[in-house]
Amino acid sequence: MRKPLPPRIFVTGIDTDVGKTVVSAALTEALHADYWKPVQAGYDTGTDRETVQSLLTTLHLTVHPEAYKLKMPAVPVYSAEQEGVEIDPQQIHIPDTTNRLIIEGAGGLMVHLNRNFLVIDLIQQLGVPVILVSENYLGSINHTLLSIEALRSRHIEIVGIIYNGEHSAHMRELIYQTSGVHEIGSVEKGHKIDRDFIQAQAAKLRTDISKYYTL
């Protein structure tokens, strides 16, 4: 029996640059959700919030401002220290919204936000379940399973895995056989990322996710 999809979801990745922003944009579009990235590190070519906002067509949603916006593209703790800022977890609060909410993390689970606080700590503090973004590269099975183990060690609910780009049946089988975590969707890679692309991926994700959850 399918259960309801949680109203707030944290999108994290098995590594940096595995497609969290594209997946977050597609999920935001698919679920008619709001979007929020609590910590942005690096914005010379624009923030992830600006990218997502430019890709959405759904009306009546909000792309919420970051709690911390750091210029240097580096691990957030280092960016913050270089800019004379300390990221205070107590200043990071879920936006007030009645819509569904997609929350995009910075890098992977073990990325430092300050010297004593990691992305996985933020997820635990916010008390929201996770969608894990995975990608097919040498070592990604290991990174995916380690991420699942880390989340389970903190008793954080895992909604499922979304794969970015090509992924082999062998990869999916091993990850599911070992972890029991379902693939709930995938997005294509290597295409021009524009509104039409995000709409197409959103439609596919909505169909895929509805096999496991009521929307």
Domains annotated for the chain, with CATH where assigned, are 3-214 (3.40.50.300)
Residue 152 has pLDDT above 80, yes or no: yes
Residue 166 has pLDDT above 90, yes or no: no
pLDDT for 69: 95
pLDDT for 173: 93
Contact predicate 132/161, CB 8 Å: yes
Q: Any idea which of 15-19, 55-59, 160-164 has the lowest mean pLDDT?
A: 55-59
**What is the set of active-site residues?**
37
Residue 58 has pLDDT above 80, yes or no: no
Contact predicate 56/196, CB 8 Å: no
CA distance 38 to 134: 21
C-alpha angle with apex 183: 33 to 38, nearest 5 degrees?
Answer: 40
Residue 59 has pLDDT above 90, yes or no: no
Q: Which of 121, 210, 136 is nearest to 166 (CA)?
A: 136
Residue 29 has pLDDT above 90, yes or no: yes
CA distance 18 to 164: 7
pLDDT for 191: 76
Provide the terminal-to-terminal Cα distance of the chain, rounded to the nearest Å.
13
Show the tokens assigned to 199: 């709409």
pLDDT for 76: 96
Residue 168 has pLDDT above 90, yes or no: no
pLDDT tens profile 69-110: 999 999 999 999 999 999 999 999 999 999 999 999 999 999
CA dihedral 13, 104, 21, 132 (to 10 degrees): 30
The pLDDT confidence band at residue 167, using thresholds 50, 70 and 90, is: confident
Residue 20 has pLDDT above 90, yes or no: yes
Query: β-pairing, 101-108 with 68-70?
Result: unpaired
CA distance 127 to 156: 8
Show the tokens assigned to 58: 């759904």
Task: Quickly tell me which residue has 């992977």 as its tokens.
Answer: 108
Residue type at position 95: P
Q: Which of 135, 99, 111 is nearest to 8 (CA)?
A: 99
Q: Which helix (H) or strand (E) holds 81?
A: helix 76-82
18-42: string of b/e by CB count within 10 Å (b at 16+)?
A: bbbbbbbbbbbbbbbbbbbbbbbbb
Residue 176 has pLDDT above 80, yes or no: yes
